[in-house]
A and B are shown apart, each in its own frame.
Chain A
Amino acid sequence: MKSRLSLLILFLTLLIAGLELYWGDAWEHQYLLWEFRIPRVIGALVGGSTLALSGVFLQTLFRNPLAGPFLIGISPGATLAMALGLFWAEQQWGWLLGTTEQILLALGGAFLALLLQLGLARKHSHPYQLLLVGMVLSFVFGAATDLLQNVASAERLKMFSLWSMGSFERVTLESLPSIVGLFIGLLALALMISTRMDAYLLGDLYAQSGGLSLKKTRHWMIAGGAVGAAWMTAICGPISFIGLVAPHIARELLTSASHRKLILHSVVWGAFLATTADFLAHHLMQQQLLQVNAVSALIGGPILLWSLLKKA
């Protein structure tokens, strides 16, 4: 029954993606189709799946279904780096941020947060300590971003606000291979360590008695979760809800605790949420693009609530 539902969701996702590709007169404008439409649609499909995978890694790592890239400071790290670039570097030195600089900045911020996290994880590898460190990092990065906003002009604030909305429109033909490659790599990693993640969820003692290297497994999960979220944030801006909600819905719908199944189902739900949110963001209001973040939360929230209430 659950597998059938996910299959139905997969079919729906592909249907929406196909509909989006054929929407309007895109096929009459080949340049527009290849340069804008196809990267966006594939970006939403693959990007949503990557964010969902990132969510699976982080929720398993922290044994907490509320964990996500926002909680361990990765997205706030990228956001702080962008704020530094927009509010400080540009105002101080008149340095204009191009697309490449934006990606590099966000990536730098996300990886700096990841390095801090990994550095601290060396001495304190217990999930609760990691979670606490991540939350503290998030608060510190968030506070620094707020402070920077105080010295920003209205124009810069607007630019920052647009960046922080997140959008698959930013996926280009050039960046698409990196997103697809990353997704394939993360999926392979997730499937490879899925049995380890099964054991890890049973608790430290049980996992260790089964011969599992806790440290190694945690590092793989941190790296997988963080790299996926960091790269997507760098390319598309912070897209907050999908990484949290897709694995959550998949977990609620599955009866099995198998990570192999959870990974595949989460990928499908991630793609569905992202593709649907992108489709609705473009077509819900005529000639007015909506925020993907807001639309994904509006779709994912009720689904999540439904699954929780159904379980209760």
Chain B
Amino acid sequence: MNRIVQFFHKTVSPEYFYWLSGKLIPWFIGIFVVVLAFGVWGAFTAPTDYQQGESYRIIFVHVPAAYMSMLIYVCMAVAGFIGLVWHIKLAEITAVASAPIGAAFTALALATGSLWGKPMWGTYWVWDARLTSELILLFLYIGVIALYNAIDDHRKAARAVAILALVGVVNIPIIHFSVEWWSTLHQPATLSKLDQPSMHPDMLRPLLIMIVACTIYFPGILFMRIRAMLLRQERRSRWVARLLGEEGT
């Protein structure tokens, strides 16, 4: 037990994590590129939809982006909770670093959704339940980023962000269901019926591969952001000076 605690403490120390993540990032990005290549190949060779024609192929970007937008919010809240409770600097930084990535995926999901809406519904934007809740999710992300930027002290800002993320995570189910009951025009969730998917396996396979690709992409890009933030916030500490000194010589 003591060993695990020791290992944990070592891993979350900024210096060790900087080193470890530097080793891990190439792996994440490498695997991501390979999986992405498979996914893209599958997306373009999947059979044409009998109703939606070729334009359904945007699903291979849209669904992973929407999935990531929610996954990252949960990651952000969990990291924020850990940071608040145990005062772990790395967890606080993780929460803050997740927000822009999540916002980007949310914006991507919204953009692809509205591009898909044009040929399908005949309009770029409808006030339907899932588009609206995705838009509100984007607002929540923007709030988190704006709050972090508004507070000068990094640690204080990170703790404030953690509280906001936790409040958001309590509210997301409420927002989701309220918007769901308010109006619905969107097709029912494609992937919710796990026992018997409503998609053809040839279409489902590339979609799942794309979701895996995005899930691997997230830690890779997250670690890059965390490393940059660690360097900036720890710039007065000895290990950064040593690191930069080594690279300088």
| Genuine A/B complex | no
